[in-house]
Amino acid sequence: QSALTQPASVSGSPGQSITISCTGTSSDVGGYNYVSWYQQHPGKAPKLMIYDVSNRPPGVSNRFSGSKSGNTASLTISGLQAEDEADYYCSSKRSSTTPHVVFGGGTKLTVL
Amino acid sequence: QVQLVESGGGVVQPERSLRLSCAASGFSFNDYAMNWVRQAPGKGLEWVAVISYDGTNNYHADSVKGRFTISRDNSKNTLYLQMNSLRAEDTALYYCARGSDQGSSGWTALDYWGQGTLVTVSS
């Protein structure tokens, strides 16, 4: 099963905004509002940042926001900070013979 | 606070078996679906399997179907992953992760993760 498509890397300067895209199909991203985003620092476990396309769990900064249009979801980080430098993964439920979750390939965010 | 602690990883030869465990604490384990997710060295995340809160339903990724089995013991607050017929491509850090009870995504949004246990398949 192929992963969702994310850019390999993005970068931005402190204070700027960046957007990471996540492209799937009508069987996953486009078919459900079950898109999540995770942040992973080196050597650490992933952390849930966004669920249901655009909802933030308690404790996640409102600098992180999510959206979706058609088969593409997006994560936007505003007011970039050095601590935002990490890998970011999107995920979605995928329809199949049985329910599945599919992840994106990951995007390395560099804060310049 | 929510804690998930994986164990059982190690070095194993191809075609052998291994059972991973995940001890949960700090929440009502029998109220939540649980997942296994793996990450090969230097690679991205790959969902492996999910089991419902009561253990009556479970689903596995196509890459492990027929070889891996997810299970749980709610009396012990423990999640398991039985891995048979292991292959080199199963080498990865295996995380257990709790399915969220927030919003519509349910078990597909993973709100707490353990630190992982490393499985290396090599002769």
Q: Does A97 touch chain B (CB under 8 A)?
A: no
The predicted pLDDT at position A2 comes to 66
| Contact indicator for B48, B90 with CB cutoff of 8 Å | no
| Contact indicator for A78, A17 with CB cutoff of 8 Å | yes
Q: Is the pLDDT of residue A1 over 70?
A: no
Q: Do B104 and A52 touch (CB under 8 A)?
A: yes
A38 neighbourhood in chain B, CB within 8 Å: 45, 110
B35 neighbourhood in chain A, CB within 8 Å: 101
Nearest CB neighbour to B47, from listed A40, A52, A102: A102
Q: What is the rounded distance in angstroms from the CA atom of residue A6 to the CA atom of residue B4?
A: 29
Q: How many CB pairs under 8 A join A and B?
A: 83
| Closest to A90 in 3D by CA, of B44, B104, B74 | B44
**What percent of chain B is predicted at pLDDT more than 70?**
100
**Phi and psi at residue A83, in whole multiples of 5°?**
-70, -10
For residue range A33-81, list pLDDT tens digits in order.
Answer: 999 999 999 999 999 999 999 999 999 999 999 999 999 999 999 999 9
**What percent of chain A is predicted at pLDDT more than 70?**
98
For residue range B53-93, list pLDDT tens digits in order.
Answer: 999 999 999 999 999 999 999 999 999 999 999 999 999 99
The predicted pLDDT at position A67 comes to 97
Class of residue B122 by CB neighbours under 10 A (exposed 0-12, middle 13-18, buried 19+): exposed
